[in-house]
Each structure stands twice: as C-alpha cells, then as structure tokens.
C-alpha cells in the first residue's frame, strides 16, 4: 500500500509542473495591468509621482521576461512565499487562508449533501428499474443537469429569500448577532441556500451515474446466484452489488471534488459568500495576477489530490488493483 501510494504521488509531480506552466501562461496572456487598473480607479494615484509607478512596476516584476517571472513565481511557491496582492495590499497567503475555511465549509457541506442524497436515490432507482420512481429520477436528473448554477441560485434567492423570506440572501453572517448558539444558527441559515445550490446539480448527475453502475453489476451471474441461494435483497444489494459497483462510483464522486471548488466561484459570487471563489473572481477583475494565479494553483492542487484520493480508495475497495500493480512491477 505504501509503495502504491508513493508511486502515485510521484506521478503527480510532472503533472503539477505542466499545469503550473499552462496556468501561468494563460493568466499572463490576459489583457490588463494591475497598476493601470489602480490608476483607473484613482486617476490621481500617480499623477504627482510617476517615479512611484516605475518603482511599483519593478517591485511587482511586471516588466520582467515571461520565463523569468515564471521561475521566480515557481521558486516562491515552493518555499511558501506567495507574494503580495496588488489589490488588497496584504500577503496572498494571508488572503487565501482567511477565505479558505469559508470555502471548505461551503464545499464540504455541498459534497456531503450530494452523497447523502445521490447514493440512496441512485441505488433505489437501479433496484426499481423502469418503475415510476426510476422515471421520476430520470426527469429530475435531466432537469438538474440542465439548470445553470447561477440561474438556480437567483431563483432560490427570489423564492426563499425575497418572497418567502425564510433565509438570508447573501453573506456569511448577520452583523450584530452574539452568543455561540445564535451565531451558529445564523451561519447555518446563511449556509443552506448556497450549499444546496452547489450540490443540487451534482446530485442529479451522480444519481444517473450510480444507477448505471449498479445496473451493470445487477445483471451479473453471481448476483443471480446470490438470490438463488436465498440471500435477502438488502444483503445482495449492499454486500455484493454495491461493493463491486463502487469503482466507477468512487471515480466520479472523488474526481468531482474540484468541481465544488470551481463551482464555488459562481455560487460565492451570487450569494456574496466570502470564500476562495469570490476572491479569485475579484482578483481577475482587478488584474491582480499574483492573487489569481495562486488561487488557480490551489484549485489545481485540489484536483491532483482528488485523483490521488480516488487511486487510494480503489485499493481499499478492490484489493485486486494492488495485486495487478505488483504483477506489473
């Protein structure tokens, strides 16, 4: 297990460097300049001191060759120095780690909602194939997959926040709320809508995938043999069918973790949730390249770790994968 984990981790290193080059090239190819953006926001910022503008350009290495800027940035990444944000005037690491807990709270909650809803619905739809429930989940899946997240978020705000006034429509908390339980309940109410919006589309997608994976296993001979031996349906589904269907299910669920971080960009912007997605969105608008590129690299690292998690879970669910690796080694 250790050698398998170590081998998979080493395979991610060259991928990380390739991704870093692509992200760096794309962001630096974007039009705009952070200092010119600052000057547009405040035309008098450098009017009296144009030399200060040149000093800042040198300080942020804006005029360095692209290859030099890449290796300087990569070196700083490896030693943990993410530099400063030209928009917020504070270290990028401080900004990221101040927003990261909010994004983790949102994405983990949405991911749990997705799993808790999608697994039982997908399993039951497969067991009751071609039933009214199965056809209903098909309609639900197509509707959920077709809905743009930003439109669904706006509809949720209008219905639950404006018309019914059940939930707050933006932000992380209500100003002035004190007391542990009051703060907890207030933050929970702010979390409900963005978490459901973020997880809803994935629930629709996962339901169809879980159903398809389980149906493929239910048609196997050993499932019919288990039924013929008198095993009850619950034992056959959970113990035999679901375990053998978990490989494709793990693939889609684990590899969709980056989607929640990427989808949080839209959801956090609509709900004014102070997380990483909204931070990256504002950084791109303000041409704050250093902040934007580090946010994107964080998302790339999450994607690589999700792949590693999926590989490890494969071995846990199906030890035959580990044996195949030994034979090839």
Three state DSSP letters for the chain: CHHHHHHHHHHHHHHHHHHHHHHHHHHHCCCCCHHHHHHHHCCCCCCCCHHHHHHHHHHCCCCCCHHHHHHHHHHHHHCCCCCECCCCCCEHHHHHHHHHHHHHHHHHHHHHHHHHHHHHHHHHHHHCCCCHHHHHHHHHHHHHHHCCHHHHHHHHHHHHHHHCCCCCCCCCCCCCCCCHHHHHHHHHHHHHHHHHHHHHHHHHHHHHHHHHHHHHHHCCHHHHHHHHCCCCHHHHHHHHHHHHHHHHHHHHHHHCHHHHHHHHHHHHHHCCCCCHHHHHHHHHHCCCHHHHHHHHHHHHHHHHHHHHHHHHHHHHHCCHHHHHHHHHC
Tokens linked to 181: 């339980």
Lowest mean pLDDT among 93-107, 156-170, 288-302: 288-302
Q: What is the pLDDT of residue 43?
A: 59
In a domain, 198, yes or no: yes
283 pLDDT tier (thresholds 50, 70, 90): confident
In a domain, 105, yes or no: yes
In a domain, 93, yes or no: no
In a domain, 67, yes or no: no
At 322, which CATH number? 1.10.3720.10
As a residue count, the chain comes to 329
Q: What is the pLDDT of residue 30?
A: 67
Whether 113 has a pLDDT exceeding 60, the answer reads yes
CA nearest to 248, candidates 202, 219, 223, 216: 216
Q: How many angstroms separate the first and last alpha carbons of the chain?
A: 13
pLDDT digits (tens, 9 = 90+) for 7-45: 777 878 888 888 888 888 877 776 666 666 666 556 565
Whether 226 has a pLDDT exceeding 80, the answer reads no
In a domain, 208, yes or no: yes
In a domain, 66, yes or no: no
Q: What's the mean per-residue pLDDT of the chain?
A: 79
Query: What's the total number of domains in the chain?
Result: 1
Largest distance between two CA atoms of the chain? 89
Tokens linked to 144: 């959920």
In a domain, 204, yes or no: yes
Whether 58 has a pLDDT exceeding 60, the answer reads yes
pLDDT digits (tens, 9 = 90+) for 237-254: 877 777 777 777 777 777
Q: Which residues form the domain of 106?
A: 99-328
In a domain, 295, yes or no: yes
CA nearest to 277, candidates 158, 165, 197: 197
């Amino acid at each position: 297990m250790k050698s398998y984990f170590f081998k998979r981790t080493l395979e991610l290193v060259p991928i990380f460097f390739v991704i870093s080059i692509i992200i760096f090239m794309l962001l630096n190819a974007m039009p705009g300049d952070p200092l010119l953006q600052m000057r547009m926001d405040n035309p008098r910022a450098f009017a009296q001191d144009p030399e200060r503008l040149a000093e800042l350009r040198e300080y942020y290495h804006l005029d360095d060759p692209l290859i030099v800027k890449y290796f300087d940035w990569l070196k700083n990444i490896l030693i943990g120095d993410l530099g400063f944000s030209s928009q917020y005037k504070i270290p990028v690491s401080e900004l990221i780690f101040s927003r990261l807990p909010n994004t983790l709270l949102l994405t983990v909650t949405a991911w749990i909602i997705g799993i808790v809803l999608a697994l039982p619905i997908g399993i039951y739809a497969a067991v009751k194939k071609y039933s009214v429930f199965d056809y209903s989940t098909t309609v639900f899946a197509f509707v959920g997959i077709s809905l743009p997240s930003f439109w669904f978020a706006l509809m949720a705000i209008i219905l639950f926040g404006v018309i019914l006034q059940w939930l707050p429509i933006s932000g992380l908390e209500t100003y002035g709320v004190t007391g542990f339980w009051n703060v907890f309940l207030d933050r929970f109410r702010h979390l409900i809508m963005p978490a459901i919006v973020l997880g809803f589309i994935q629930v629709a997608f996962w339901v169809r995938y879980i159903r398809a994976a389980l149906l493929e296993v239910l048609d196997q001979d050993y499932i019919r043999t288990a039924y013929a031996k008198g095993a009850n349906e619950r034992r056959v589904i959970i113990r035999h069918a679901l375990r053998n269907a978990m490989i494709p299910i793990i693939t889609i669920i684990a590899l969709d973790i980056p989607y929640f971080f990427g989808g949080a960009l839209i959801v956090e912007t609509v709900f004014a949730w102070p997380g990483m997605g909204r931070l990256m969105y504002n950084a791109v608008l303000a041409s704050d390249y250093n902040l934007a590129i580090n946010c994107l690299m964080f998302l790339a690292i999450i994607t690589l770790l999700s792949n590693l998690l999926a590989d490890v879970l494969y071995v846990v669910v199906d030890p035959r994968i580990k044996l195949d690796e030994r034979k090839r080694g």
